[in-house]
Structure 1
Amino acid sequence: MSYYTSLSGLKNAQTELNVISNNLANAETAGFKKSNVNFSDIVGGSTYTNAKTQVGLGSVTQQIDQDFSNGNQNATGSALDLMINGNGFFTVNNPATGQMMYTRNGNFHTDGTGNIIDSDNNNVQVMAYDATTGTYAATPSNAVLPTTNAAGAGYSNVQVLADGQVVAGYKDGSTTVIGKIAIANFVSPTGLQQMGSQRWEVTGLSGPATYGVPQADNNGSILSATLETSNVDTATEMVGLITAQRYFQANAKAIDTNTQISDAVINLRS
């Protein structure tokens, strides 16, 4: 039984090494959120087992949680590089499937028709502004910067304010408010499913997205010309790497010791 106990330790040490390696590999990835491994012990017994003589059966990986704490600020100088300084996720929409996805990586730009998109051509979502009523929509839609204004002047630049307001500027000096950046929140962000490229999708564990705007309902503000760095602390991860390595070595040594004991018993002579 001791072999299987130590083997479970080896497997868990390998899992922890894999998670730490992934964290370190993404230490320079904008918007990346590190993961942490949680283990639980395995207890072999029943209600009739003497609690004072009960021996465990090892450990098992209980869950791998993501840490959604904020990363640091990295100034870039590009107006459409955005960072949420606080709670929430940017929302992007896959134009081919209509799927909504969520990210902390605000590395956005425009295409030839004025759509604000991410690096994979997904449409960034805003709460559109209605100039007639002076209000913002309650549901997100694609962020589009008109290439010309009502007077026919061509597009010149874009600004994104701290409250998420997206303002398009034109060559005649006029401006047009497009909307406010859509911010998504979840009851349980750790339940989101990772999709790669610093994007997540909704699951039953996360609950549905609740949409709002920056600086409202506990949502963070927007920092323009700034990207959020990974929240991986390299020093902490290196300490964890050494600890996991020692954990692996200790369990391997336990298996080696068990083998030596077994050999000694088998080779006993009367």
Structure 2
Amino acid sequence: MSFYTSLSGLKAAQTDLGTVSNNLANVGSTGFKRSRAQFGDLFASSPTQSTKMTTGQGVRLSGVVQQFTQGTLEASDKTLDLGIAGDGFFVVQGAPPRQATTYTRNGSFSANASGEVVDTTGSKLQLLPVDANGNATSTSLSDTYDMVIPTASPTDPNVSIANVSIGDDGLVTATFADGSSQKLGKIAMASFKAVEGLRPVGDAHWQSTGDSGLPQVNTATNGPLGSIRSGALERANVDVTEELVLLISAQRNFQANAKAIETDKNMTQAVLNIN
């Protein structure tokens, strides 16, 4: 029995090593959230069996839980580089035919040839409609639309665009060469009741699940969504020093369980050698 107990310990330590290694590998990934492996002990006995005479049966993986703590915001020189100071997520929509809606903290956006603002996966940043004063007129996910940067003024096609600005509340404003401006909308933000239940799909993107609950869509500066920082990107929330300590701990745990298996093997061999 001790062999299988130590074997479960080896598997747990290997999972721990893999989790920490993945955290370290993504230190430079924008918007990445570190994960932590959680374990629980295994214990079983029959109703008529005294627990005072029963040892544990090893360890099991309870789950690999992501840690959605705030990462450091690093300044950049691009207006479309967006960082979130808060708990919100950007809402992005993938390419046809699936057009899957995902949620991301990776605010490294850019404009494609059609003027659509897309992230590193090609998904389009979503906006909420606003009125003349820049207030959102809807907070429904079904009312979001792609952010598209115009090339010219809507009132005069001969007047080209001068710049685009994004406020802390996510209001996107296009200014044209003649001094006129147009409010394009507010960046749609999402929050979840249980962020740990989100399903990661890579590139700091997540999908909602039954565990996370449905997304609650609103604009920045509302509730826990936080504010948007134009010209900044969120770094991974990975502390290299902490991860290296955890790596050493997982390695020693692996070695200790391997030593226990070796001891069990020697004991078994000694019994077999008895004449």
- In 2 relative to 1, CA 137–229 (structure 1 residues): closer, same or farther, beyond 3 Å? same
Q: Is the 8 A contact 2:40 2:60 kept in 1?
A: yes
- In 2 relative to 1, CA 257–32 (structure 1 residues): closer, same or farther, beyond 3 Å? same
Q: Which moved more, 1:120-129 or 1:99-108?
A: 120-129
Of Structure 1 and Structure 2, the greater strand share is in 1
Structure 2 distance, partners of 1:29, 1:133, is 33
1:159 equivalenced with 2:165 (yes/no): yes
Q: Which runs of 5+ in 1 are unaligned?
A: none
Question: TM-score, normalised on structure 1?
Answer: 0.96
Q: Is the 8 A contact 1:136 1:179 kept in 2?
A: no
Alignment-derived partner of residue 34 in structure 1: 34
Equivalences for residues 137-148 of structure 1 within 5 A = 137-139=138-140, 140-148=144-152
Deviations 1:78-97 (A, max 9, x none): 00100110111001001312
Q: Percent identity?
A: 40
Alignment-derived partner of residue 98 in structure 1: 99
Question: TM-score, normalised on structure 2?
Answer: 0.94
3-state SS of 2:52 partner: coil
Distance apart, 1:203 and its partner CA: 1.1
Q: Which moved more, 1:42-51 or 1:61-70?
A: 42-51
Distance apart, 1:263 and its partner CA: 1.2
Distance apart, 1:137 and its partner CA: 2.7
Structure 1 distance, partners of 2:224, 2:121, is 29
Q: Which moved more, 1:30-39 or 1:107-116?
A: 107-116
Q: Which moved more, 1:207-216 or 1:46-55?
A: 46-55
- In 2 relative to 1, CA 88–234 (structure 1 residues): closer, same or farther, beyond 3 Å? same
Alignment-derived partner of residue 115 in structure 2: 114
Q: Is the 8 A contact 1:105 1:227 kept in 2?
A: yes
Equivalences for residues 193-204 of structure 1 within 5 A = 193-204=199-210
Alignment-derived partner of residue 230 in structure 1: 236
Deviations 1:38-68 (A, max 9, x none): 0011112122221212201000111000000
Structure 2 distance, partners of 1:15, 1:218, is 33
- In 2 relative to 1, CA 238–169 (structure 1 residues): closer, same or farther, beyond 3 Å? same
The one-letter amino acid paired with 1:112 is A
3-state SS of 1:74 partner: strand
The one-letter amino acid paired with 1:147 is T
Deviations 1:113-161 (A, max 9, x none): 2211112221101112233996433232211222211122112211111
- In 2 relative to 1, CA 16–135 (structure 1 residues): closer, same or farther, beyond 3 Å? closer
The one-letter amino acid paired with 2:151 is T
The one-letter amino acid paired with 2:146 is N
Structure 1 distance, partners of 2:105, 2:134, is 31
Alignment-derived partner of residue 260 in structure 1: 266
Alignment-derived partner of residue 69 in structure 2: 69
The one-letter amino acid paired with 1:76 is S
Distance apart, 1:217 and its partner CA: 2.2
